[in-house]
Amino acid sequence: MIGQIIDGTAISAKLRGEVAIAAAALRAHQQIVPTLAVVLVGDDPASAVYVKAKAKAAREANVDVRDHKLPATTTQAELMALVAELNADPIVDGILVQLPLPPHLDSDAVIRALDPSKDVDGLHPTNLGYLAQGKPVFVPCTPKGCMRLLREVGVDPAGLRAVVLGRSVLVGKPIALLLQNANATVTMCHSKTRDLADEVRRADIVVAAIGRPEMVRGEWIKPGATVLDVGINRTAEGKLVGDVHFTSAIQHAHAITPVPRGVGPMTIACLLENTVEAARRRRG
């Protein structure tokens, strides 16, 4: 059996189209232009590329973007002052502070300072708390994208056994909560898990978010399982690969995301969806 390749590029384009229609409706009927403030501190090249991609996708989805580029020497007090200003600005619906911040800055304090109603990245403790209660408001974008991919390939997690590899606040923990909220039976694995292969073998849904190139082998995948590969890793040869060994895993999976063009494109689309939702909730 050869599994279906889940086309994240096409599905994200579909989602961005839906967002564009929702944003255009807000503009036409209520004169609201959903506005996202993006804060980028320093000159991390990967972050700069990502921020540029966000700006382009936002324009196409009728979302206004305001870029705030700050030098790497920005102090905590200066960054907190900008966050306070954006929190108070009635035009700004969503605030995205691009992570990672330079090491001298306390990113937890910055996230805690965000107005939760503008936290379109879903990382404020209030939003993570709502998610843990099973009453999500703003959900972190990559996990939200993973759930949409499952829906698009017709996989209802209810009653299925899901294994999440990785327990970060950004990806692993929220995806596990979303899967639980969708009635999956969820096992979380991490670097201290004794037998990763054994856990994966029992899973109907595998979400890999560990940042270890091709560590999950095809023979670990239960026949018919759905595999979402969140990992983005660069090999010594400069090739982008996921956390799953794609060519062997697709021999067993029912459906699987490639890297690139799988989970990755969904993140920006979900950020825009959250921004339009924030505009609707705040002003609509």
Active site residues: 54, 98, 121
The answer to the question of residue 234 lying near ligand NDP (CB under 6 A) is no
Q: Which of 15, 111, 163, 232 binds ligand NDP (CB under 6 A)?
A: 232
The answer to the question of residue 209 lying near ligand NDP (CB under 6 A) is yes
Give the angle subtended at the CA of 186 by the CAs of 208 and 155, to the nearest 5°: 75
d(CA 61, CA 17): 7
d(CA 282, CA 284): 6
Residue whose CB is less far from ligand NDP, 105 or 163: 163
d(CA 146, CA 105): 30
Binders in 240-279 for ligand NDP, by CB under 6 A: 263-264, 267
Q: Which of 230, 250, 271, 276 binds ligand NDP (CB under 6 A)?
A: 230
Residue whose CB is less far from ligand NDP, 32 or 123: 123
The answer to the question of residue 225 lying near ligand NDP (CB under 6 A) is no
Amino acid identity for residue 185 in this structure: T
Asked whether 263 and 146 are in contact (CB, 8 A), the reply is yes
Q: Where does this chain touch ligand NDP (CB under 6 A) — which range of 71-79, 111-119, 121-129, 192-200?
A: 192-200
Q: How far apart are CB 39 and ligand NDP at their closest, in Å?
A: 18
Mapped onto helix, strand or coil, the DSSP state of residue 41 is: strand
Q: Where does this chain touch ligand NDP (CB under 6 A) — which range of 125-133, 178-186, 187-195, 276-284?
A: 187-195
Q: Where does this chain touch ligand NDP (CB under 6 A) — which range of 76-84, 90-98, 129-137, 227-235?
A: 227-235
Crossing angle between the packed helical segments 172-181 and 141-152, to the nearest 10 degrees? 40
| 18 Cβ contact list (under 8 Å, min separation 6) | 273
Task: Kindly tell me the burial class for residue 95, based on how many C-beta atoms sit within 10 Å of its own C-beta (0-12, 13-18, 19 or more).
Answer: buried
The answer to the question of residue 168 lying near ligand NDP (CB under 6 A) is yes
Binding footprint of ligand NDP on the chain (CB under 6 A): 142, 165-168, 170-172, 189-193, 196, 209-212, 230-233, 263-264, 267
